[in-house]
Structure 1
Amino acid sequence: MGAFYLPLPDGTFRSTPHTVGPWGPDSQHLGPPSALLARSLLAVRPSLSRVTFEVLGPVPVADLAVSTSVERPGRSVELLSASLSHNGKVALTARAWHIVGSDTTAVAGGAGPALAPPSSAVPMEIPEHWGGGYLAAVEWLSVSGGIFTPGDARVWARPRVAVVEGFETSPLERLFAVVDSASGVSSRVDIRTWYAINTDLTVHLHRRPTGEWIGMDARTAIGPDGVGVATSVVHDVEGPVGTSAQALFVRER
């Protein structure tokens, strides 16, 4: 089966080739490290209502240290934080709000329609020279659009490997392993000739996902001054679970 990371005796995590992104063999796609930080936050509190990741630099394919803390404790809401570092240099941070649960079944609603199910989708085409590492570690299905099809996209994704070897991957960890890809599948530019790199990722969740598949109804807008925004409605097979947003650095190569 494999995993994105191997746990080491000193509490750090060894990155495997499954984490490698499409830009080069030494840096990771942001999906696996986002899932690793989300896993650490979920170990502190069992649910997260909002998580914001700040990308401080490339995440190397190397041994990584994770730290977590509770910044603002409380009875109803709490603010958590986590960071991912290599040799003392922080590459990725996360801050998350945990809201203590209550029964709101009587007023639940307003999330919007469900995405067409995975059974109605087709395998998403990925060029052979981009087919290794992270992209091969995830199963991709297209309802419409996808990588190298510029414009809006509706896709399903399911990691083929665990986040951490020897540990079961939760639906929330699966979500964070793939949701950063919303900007890639809905890119409006040819990423072979343009950079469209996100500086951050924010995910809001109104309910916990279930099952193995995570869907993204994604779109990207690019302004005239080198800045873009990618957004998506995030789904499981039962319907929407939340939204994501990413700021984009856009430049011609």
Structure 2
Amino acid sequence: MARPFHFVQTEQDTFLPTAYAQSHWGPDHLNGPALVGLVARTLETAFGRPEFLPARLTVDLFKAARGVPTTAKLALVRDGRRVRNAECELVQDGVTVVRATLVQYRLSEPPRGREWVAPMTFTGPVDRDDARGIGIGSDDAGWTGAIADHQNTSRKRFVNRTIDVVEGDANSPFVRAAMAAEGTSLVTNLGTAGVGYINGDLTVALSRLPGDEWIGVQADSHWAADGISVGASTLFDSAGAFGTGMVTAVANPAAQIDFANDPFPERTR
């Protein structure tokens, strides 16, 4: 079977979204993983170096992105010996809808001594759904394949094998980590009535790259007041924890996504 993908590259820096890039927020909205994946792939392709780790990616989702041609604009801000900084904007119809910054650190030997490490464990599903490439779990319901099963108030977790960002180009470990980390919004903002907060950003910080195609995302914290929420997660592969995801979000009750009455069931994979 052909591998699914979010975008078709039509020119050097221009990409056309596919149906896989659509989100649940509206009939012509693009989803967060697709946009995060596109900026991560574009920045890594242009500025990635094997001797550097992409340690932090921050993506600001300014405006609802639509299913129209999307242009990536790039800039290398600093090319240092130990630190490299770069930026990417996604532009649709002349308007910037996403802006991202990437910080890369040169790989080196660790310092002397030992440091505190938080105890973190992640137990994934016994049987993974290889056809759909996702699974969701919660303390109350265990692991299932349906998001609606986890509209509760308990801690949530997610496993994801990301689909390709661009047709014909398999995702790199960095791109997989960035896309999976966007699931932080789901595992922290999913409540008894679905998801009523829409995240305006994502920050993913990595101590190393993941070694697996499947990546786990487990909620660590969720704080909300006056229509604003903040959520944080830990990222896992089979070797253990390797990074952190963080999102801020604003209440969006008019378009709340109740997965028990999914308005776009064909988009839930």
- The answer to whether the superposition gives a TM-score over 0.5 is yes
Task: Tell me if the contact between 2:57 and 2:203 (Cα under 8 Å) persists in the aligned partners.
Answer: yes
Helix, strand or coil at the partner of 1:61: coil
How far does the alpha carbon of each residue in 1:82-111 deviate from its partner, in whole angstroms, 9 at most, with x for none? Answer: 111112111011111110111339768736
1:8-19 paired onto structure 2 within 5 Å? 8-19=10-21
Matching residue of 1:131? none
Task: Sort the Cα spacing of 1:218 and 1:153 in 2 relative to 1 into closer, same or farther, 3 A.
Answer: same
Matching residue of 1:115? 122
Task: Tell me if the contact between 2:232 and 2:247 (Cα under 8 Å) persists in the aligned partners.
Answer: yes
Give, in whole Å, the separation in 2 of the partners of 1:209 and 1:87: 35
Task: Sort the Cα spacing of 1:38 and 1:4 in 2 relative to 1 into closer, same or farther, 3 A.
Answer: same
Task: Sort the Cα spacing of 1:80 and 1:226 in 2 relative to 1 into closer, same or farther, 3 A.
Answer: same
Helix, strand or coil at the partner of 2:107: coil
Give, in whole Å, the separation in 1 of the partners of 2:225 and 2:138: 29
Task: Sort the Cα spacing of 1:151 and 1:83 in 2 relative to 1 into closer, same or farther, 3 A.
Answer: farther
The aligned amino acid for 1:81 is: E
Give, in whole Å, the separation in 2 of the partners of 1:68 and 1:111: 36
1:37-116 paired onto structure 2 within 5 Å? 37-43=39-45, 44-46=47-49, 47-104=53-110, 110=117, 112-116=119-123
Matching residue of 2:238? 237
Matching residue of 2:219? 218
Task: Tell me if the contact between 2:159 and 2:216 (Cα under 8 Å) persists in the aligned partners.
Answer: yes
The aligned amino acid for 2:175 is: E
* Offset, 1:165: 0.8
The aligned amino acid for 1:158 is: R
* Offset, 1:65: 0.6
How far does the alpha carbon of each residue in 1:30-70 deviate from its partner, in whole angstroms, 9 at most, with x for none? Answer: 11110110011111114311111111101112211112211
* Offset, 1:171: 2.0
Unaligned runs of 5+ in 2: 142-146, 255-269
Task: Tell me if the contact between 1:199 and 1:249 (Cα under 8 Å) persists in the aligned partners.
Answer: yes
* Offset, 1:250: 2.2
Task: Tell me if the contact between 1:115 and 1:217 (Cα under 8 Å) persists in the aligned partners.
Answer: yes
Unaligned runs of 5+ in 1: 124-135
1:80-229 paired onto structure 2 within 5 Å? 80-104=86-110, 110=117, 112-118=119-125, 120=126, 138-142=133-137, 144=139, 147-159=150-162, 161-187=163-189, 189-190=191-192, 192=194, 195-229=196-230
Deviates more, 1:109-118 or 1:12-21: 109-118
Helix, strand or coil at the partner of 1:210: coil
Q: How many residues align?
A: 238
Task: Sort the Cα spacing of 1:107 and 1:69 in 2 relative to 1 into closer, same or farther, 3 A.
Answer: farther
Give, in whole Å, the separation in 2 of the partners of 1:111 and 1:49: 19
CA RMSD of aligned residues (A): 2.5
Helix, strand or coil at the partner of 1:75: coil
* Offset, 1:5: 0.8
Give, in whole Å, the separation in 2 of the partners of 1:16 and 1:156: 23
1:25 is aligned to 2:27: yes
Matching residue of 2:263? none
Give, in whole Å, the separation in 1 of the partners of 2:253 and 2:26: 18
Task: Tell me if the contact between 2:221 and 2:231 (Cα under 8 Å) persists in the aligned partners.
Answer: yes
Helix, strand or coil at the partner of 1:177: helix
* Offset, 1:143: 6.2
Deviates more, 1:102-111 or 1:54-63: 102-111
Give, in whole Å, the separation in 2 of the partners of 1:54 and 1:107: 36
Task: Tell me if the contact between 1:51 and 1:95 (Cα under 8 Å) persists in the aligned partners.
Answer: yes
Give, in whole Å, the separation in 1 of the partners of 2:167 and 2:65: 19
Give, in whole Å, the separation in 1 of the partners of 2:213 and 2:112: 27
Task: Sort the Cα spacing of 1:195 and 1:7 in 2 relative to 1 into closer, same or farther, 3 A.
Answer: same
